[in-house]
């Protein structure tokens, strides 16, 4: 843009501002201040979220002497990757990651499958006591699992179905220490956060026009075929989101893992005992009982936390791409 064009544009602006009695200038100033406020708020939120992660990344590459050096703030003076090797050894990382991946993936798929069926049923069908059962779903969301931990422990410690096992074998079955309680609870929509997934999926299906299903019924599709071929393709965005939530919450869960799985190694449970493992490692290394320093223990704990976060971030990047693609495609179909 030439200088003449810039001068003409400025003169037009001030002329329009004069005719509007200063309203145009006030509008431009308020718009600019609004953008500045949004930038400050977004920057502050991003800083609050990312700053602890950046601190953990910085600390994970420091030697122990750097942790107590007041000169070292963010950039390590003695760069090392030994912290990652030590954390992986203490957590038995390769074995724990495989176990967590298998359990989290299968549980997430099972949860989304049953929650989709239940959520669609609440959104489209009328049945006796529908409001009561949906209130029960909301109670599953609101009531923390710690309040029913004793009941869950006793139920799966002395598991029985209508007294059949005790009548046949003379005793109940102890399911604790296996993955079966996880699968049974997820199949019955009582797994981790299942009530939230049902609510989200139900709200999504309620927003889809019923005319799509009615058109499919006119074309000769039954209820199941309409659900599979018409409704599920449009539900990819919400199913992707719920799968992400289910996988990540299961990946980081420590409550149900310690309650049911016992000694099965998972990344969530191994992280909670990494400091004790560090003390045992130092004792084996030095031959005497050795308590790790607070700074070094926090360093190894931060390193283990990053090693757990990285697989979830990779999954999220791929799932986010699929979420955007499915959202645009479902918008075109509708």
231-240 pLDDT per residue, tens: 888 888 888 8
Structure confidence by residue, pLDDT tens digits, 193-202: 888 899 989 9
Q: Residue 291 carries which DSSP code?
A: P
Q: What is the mean pLDDT of the chain?
A: 82
- Residues 298 and 62: their CA atoms lie apart, in Å, by 12
11-18: average pLDDT? 72
Structure confidence by residue, pLDDT tens digits, 121-137: 998 888 888 889 999 88
Q: What is the torsion angle, in degrees rounded to the nearest 10, for the CA atoms of residue 42, residue 331, residue 105 and residue 144?
A: 60
The residue ranking higher by pLDDT, 322 or 69, is 69
Residues 6+ apart with CB under 8 A from 290: 279, 282, 283
**Residue 287 pLDDT grade (very low, low, confident, very high; cuts 50, 70, 90):** low
- Residues 315 and 294: their CA atoms lie apart, in Å, by 33
Answer for the pair 191, 197: CB distance below 8 angstroms, yes or no. no
**Residue 224 pLDDT grade (very low, low, confident, very high; cuts 50, 70, 90):** confident
pLDDT of residue 252 exceeding 70, the answer is yes
The residue ranking higher by pLDDT, 23 or 95, is 95
pLDDT of residue 283 exceeding 80, the answer is no
Structure confidence by residue, pLDDT tens digits, 16-68: 777 777 777 788 888 889 899 999 998 888 888 888 888 888 888 888 888 88
Structure confidence by residue, pLDDT tens digits, 315-327: 887 777 655 554 4
pLDDT of residue 114 exceeding 90, the answer is yes
216: how many CB neighbours lie within 10 A of its CB? 18
Counting residues of the chain whose pLDDT is more than 70, the rounded percentage is: 90
78-88: average pLDDT? 87
User: What pLDDT is recorded for position 116?
Assistant: 92
């Amino acid at each position: 843009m030439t200088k003449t064009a810039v001068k003409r544009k400025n003169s037009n602006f001030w002329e329009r501002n004069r005719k509007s009695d200063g309203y145009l200038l006030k509008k431009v100033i308020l718009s600019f201040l609004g953008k500045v406020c949004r930038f400050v708020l977004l920057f502050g939120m991003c800083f609050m979220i990312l700053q602890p992660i950046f601190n953990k990344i910085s600390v994970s590459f420091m030697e122990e002497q750097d942790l107590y050096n007041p000169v070292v703030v963010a950039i390590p003076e003695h760069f090392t990757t030994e912290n990652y090797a030590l954390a992986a050894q203490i957590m038995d990382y390769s074995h724990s990651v495989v176990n967590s991946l298998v359990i989290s993936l299968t549980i997430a798929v099972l949860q989304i499958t049953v929650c989709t069926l239940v959520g669609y049923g609440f959104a489209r069908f009328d049945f006796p006591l529908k409001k009561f059962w949906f209130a029960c779903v909301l109670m599953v969301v609101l009531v923390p699992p710690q309040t029913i931990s004793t009941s869950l422990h006793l139920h799966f410690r002395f598991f029985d179905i209508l007294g059949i096992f005790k009548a046949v074998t003379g005793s109940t079955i102890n399911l604790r220490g296996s993955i079966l309680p996880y699968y049974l609870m997820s199949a019955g929509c009582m797994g981790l956060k299942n009530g939230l997934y049902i609510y989200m999926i139900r709200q999504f299906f309620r927003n889809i026009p019923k005319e799509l299903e009615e058109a499919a019924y006119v074309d000769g599709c039954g209820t199941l075929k309409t659900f599979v071929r018409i409704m599920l393709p449009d539900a990819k965005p919400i199913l992707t989101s719920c799968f992400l939530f289910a996988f990540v919450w299961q990946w980081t869960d420590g409550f149900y893992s310690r309650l049911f799985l016992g000694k099965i190694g998972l990344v969530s449970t191994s992280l909670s005992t990494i400091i004790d493992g560090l003390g045992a490692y130092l004792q084996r290394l030095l031959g005497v009982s050795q308590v790790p320093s607070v700074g070094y223990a926090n360093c190894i704990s931060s390193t283990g936390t990053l090693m757990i976060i990285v697989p979830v971030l990779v999954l999220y990047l791929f799932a986010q791409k699929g979420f955007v693609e499915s959202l645009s495609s479902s918008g075109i179909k509708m």
